[in-house]
Structures are given as C-alpha cells and as structure tokens.
Amino acid sequence: MSSPRRTFLQQAAAASAALALAPRLAAEPSGTSSDRDLHELRCYRLKAETRLRADADPAALDSFLEHALLPALDRLGLRDVGVFSELDVQKDTATWTPKQGSPVWVLITHRTLDSFLHVSAELLSDPAVQAAGATHLQAPASSPGFERIDCWLYRAFRGLPRLEVPAFSRSRAPGRIFEMRDYESHSEVKALNKMAMFDDGEIALMKDLGMHPVFFGQALAGPDLPHLRYITCGPDLASHLAAWGKFGPDPRWAAMRDDPRYAGNVSRNTPRFLAPKAYSAI
C-alpha cells in the first residue's frame, strides 16, 4: 500500500473514531459531576513505618474527626460521612475482632468537584476547625498524629450514581458491618470493562440479594491505579455473609462470570471488613 493511501486511511479511521465518541463527550461534559457523586476516601495510617517511632494514638485522631472535621463538613452540607476501622473476621463462626494497628478510613461524598477542592484545600484554615482540632493539628514533629494519609477520588458508577445508605445504617444500628473491596486491573481498558460488568448487572444483583451497596467508584486519582472500589453493608456480620453466600451460586452471576466479554478484567481483589466508629454518620 502506498504511503499517501495509508495516511489517508489512518486519518479516515481517526475521524470515524472521533465521530463515534462525540455523542458520549457531549452527554458527559467536562467540568461537571452533578449527574454522579464524587467520593473522597481517606486512609489515616497509624501504624509506625518510617515517620513514626511508635504507633499513633487513635484517640487524638478520633477527637479531631468527631469534634472538628465532621462538624465542619456538616456545616457545608456534607452529612453522610462514614468513619471506619478494620476488622479481622472469622467467617466460619461469623465473629470478628478489632484489627490491630488498623488505619482509620473516612468516606466523604461530594456533589461537585468544587466541593472536593474546598474541603481538601481550604477547610483546615477554618478557625473553628483549628480550635476544635488543635491537639491533632498542632501535634509536635516528635510525635505526629499519623504515619501518613492516603487519599483517593472516585467517580460514582452509572449503576449507583448516588451514595445509598440503608435504613439500618442511617439509624446507626449496633452491630452493622461494612465490607470494602478494591478491584485492580492490569490495564485501563480492563478496568473500564469491569466497571461495565457491574453497571450491566452485578450491582442490580447485589441489591436483589440484600447486599446493600453503599457506593461504587472509579478511581480517578490516588495510588494503585487503575482500580475501582465499592462498599456493601449488612445489619450484622451473619446477615452480610449470608447475602454473599447467595451471590456465588446465583445463575445470574454465573452467566456474567462466564461471559467472554468480561474475561480477565480483574488482576487483584482486596477485601476489607469495616466497623463504623461511634461517631460515624452511617
């Protein structure tokens, strides 16, 4: 094939691809996320690694979150804030114990990117936050309040565009439990493929089986990209495990699992069981 003809065909293919993509770009304009939530997930790591000489005392962080950060978020209209610690779960007995050296996870849901930017860049300059959180914020260099903070920004899935908090969680029922899972993929395209799998059936199946999805998010920024993350919950551990027990043998899941369109789209699945802090809003 001659070089001019090859160039023409390449340009034509590129133009066709651009035209095919244009309707999607028009449907989802840049700079807005009002159609879907943005989920900010923070991980306050308290276990000594390189910065800390000994594990941080979680009491100071708890005080900061309960008396400074969450009230400030509430004043901004960000009220369904989840705060969690990790658990070690024994599935055969449906029992759990607190995980030693657990980080503290904080889930903040935003309706706009501006909200995320304000909370990330400006909230700590609030005099009320500085006063209420002084012990944590003014910790000396010899004993910082955390080893480090990791932060991710997620865009909600089409199949679960808004945070969903079941009634037992909104009423802060004792014994409620959450499970958070990360699904990493070996390529960006495979990550999108796994998202499509959830949007096209898995989320609806989870709801149908009583697994109570709270959020599903595509990681836009943060470590370990590309990946997605989601949280499900139950009124107690036994109920949560029973709902998961229905998922594996369900023929609808088997059909999706065996569908060649979705082959090889997850390289690692990391589950974590979470208990809400006493002051968690969900």
pLDDT in tens, 147-167: 999 999 999 999 999 999 999
* Regions of the chain where pLDDT drops below 50: 2-31, 33
226, exposed or middle or buried, with CB in 10 Å at 0-12, 13-18, 19+?
buried
Query: How far is 148 from 113, CA to CA, in rounded Å?
Result: 24
Query: How far is 187 from 205, CA to CA, in rounded Å?
Result: 26
How high is the pLDDT of residue 53? 87
How high is the pLDDT of residue 34? 66
Residue 282 lies in a domain: no
How high is the pLDDT of residue 245? 96
Query: How far is 119 from 72, CA to CA, in rounded Å?
Result: 9
What total of structural domains would you count in the chain? Answer: 1
Residue 43 lies in a domain: yes
Residue 148 lies in a domain: yes
pTM for the full predicted model: 0.87
Residue 216 lies in a domain: yes
83, exposed or middle or buried, with CB in 10 Å at 0-12, 13-18, 19+?
buried
Residue 190 lies in a domain: yes
Residue 15 lies in a domain: no
C-alpha of 211 from chain center: 16
Identify the domain containing residue 63 by its residue range: 38-276
Residue 262 lies in a domain: yes
Q: Which residue has the tokens 């390449």?
A: 10
Pairing of strands 104-110, 95-98: unpaired
One-letter amino acid at 54 equals A
β-bridge partners, 234: 177
Residue 150 lies in a domain: yes
CATH code of the domain in which 163 resides: 3.30.70.100
Pair 108, 149: CB distance under 8 Å: no
C-alpha of 157 from chain center: 11
Count of CB atoms within 10 A of residue 158's CB? 17
66, exposed or middle or buried, with CB in 10 Å at 0-12, 13-18, 19+?
middle
